[in-house]
C-alpha cells in the first residue's frame, strides 16, 4: 500500500497516511478540521503486507541438488582410429 505525506496549510500539521491507490485523496486536517490537508510531493514509499519477503523465498524447496560424481577413469583402450601399429604410443 502506498504511503503519502500530507500537510495542513492552515495549522502546519504533517503526517504520513497509508492509503489504497483507489482511495480518494484526504482533504480534512485531523488536527484542526479545516479542508486544507494536502498531499505533499515526496519520494515514493510503500508498505508490504503479510509476513514479508526474504532471500530464501526464491531459492526453491531448500534441498540441495544431488552431487554428481566425477566419471571414473577407464584404462587406456585403443580407439577404433588408433588401433594399429602405426599409431604413436603417446597421446
pLDDT in tens, 35-48: 999 999 887 666 66
Predicted TM-score (pTM) of the model is: 0.48
Check whether 23 has a pLDDT greater than 70: yes
Q: Which residues contact 49 (CB under 8 A, 6 or more apart)?
A: 1
Check whether 15 has a pLDDT greater than 70: yes
pLDDT digits (tens, 9 = 90+) for 37-76: 999 988 766 666 667 666 555 555 555 555 666 666 555 5
For residue 8, count CB atoms less than 10 angstroms from its CB and return exposed for 0-12, middle for 13-18, buried for 19 or more.
buried
Reference 7, options 38, 34, 33, 31; nearest CA is: 38
pLDDT of residue 91: 54
Give the Cα separation of 32 and 6 in Å (integer).
14
Amino acid at each position: 500500500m502506498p504511503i503519502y505525506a500530507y500537510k495542513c496549510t492552515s495549522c502546519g500539521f504533517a503526517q504520513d497516511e497509508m492509503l489504497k491507490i483507489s482511495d480518494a485523496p484526504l482533504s480534512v486536517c485531523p488536527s484542526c478540521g479545516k479542508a486544507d490537508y494536502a498531499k505533499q510531493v515526496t519520494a515514493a514509499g510503500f508498505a508490504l503486507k503479510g509476513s514479508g519477503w526474504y532471500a530464501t523465498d526464491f531459492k526453491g524447496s531448500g534441498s540441495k541438488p544431488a552431487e554428481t560424481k566425477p566419471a571414473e577413469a577407464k584404462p587406456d583402450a585403443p580407439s577404433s582410429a588408433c588401433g594399429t601399429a602405426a599409431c604413436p604410443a603417446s597421446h
